[in-house]
Amino acid sequence: MKLAVFVSDFRNTVDTLDRLKAEKLGIIFVQNGVYHAAVKEKGKASPVLNAPADFYVLSDDLDTRGLGNADLADKVKIISYSDIVDLIFNEYEKTAWL
């Protein structure tokens, strides 16, 4: 299964993510999930970024929170709303929202 997971919160998502198995996993950070991509708590990147996945972050939600490219982890790609639509229709079979 090719699964895209929208991570919309900064807390309480890591355990659930650990349990999700997919042949191809994409993690899309939206809303407060963008903090996983841009904030280093105690100098360490979010544990979510250790998952075997492709990582994306919604640019509008980064900008809304005053975060930008400079804050981003290297493995995360910035995308737009239309990119999300492309991912859903072209790259993944299922989506989940955390």
Partner 1 sequence: MATTKLGFIVQRAGYKSENPKLAITHAISSQSVEIYLNDGDLVTADIAFVGDGVLNCIKNQKAMEKYGLSSTESHIKNSLLLDLNVMVCKEDLARFVLTEKDIVIDAAEFGAEMTAKVVPFSEITKMMEEMKHLLFF
Contact residues toward partner 1 (CB under 8 A) are: 8-11, 31-32, 35, 39-43, 60-61, 63-68
Q: Give 22 or 98: the residue with its C-beta nearer to partner 1.
A: 98
In the complex, least distance from residue 12 CB atom to partner 1, rounded to whole angstroms = 11
In the complex, least distance from residue 60 CB atom to partner 1, rounded to whole angstroms = 4
Dihedral angle sign, alpha carbons of residues 8, 15, 28, 44: positive
Helices marked H in the chain: 14-19, 34-38, 59-64, 81-86
Q: Give 47 or 68: the residue with its C-beta nearer to partner 1.
A: 68
* 8 A C-beta contact, residue 56 and residue 36: no
Which tokens go with 82? 């239309």
Backbone torsions φ then ψ of 70, nearest 5 degrees: -60, -25
Q: Give 69 or 90: the residue with its C-beta nearer to partner 1.
A: 69
In the complex, least distance from residue 32 CB atom to partner 1, rounded to whole angstroms = 4
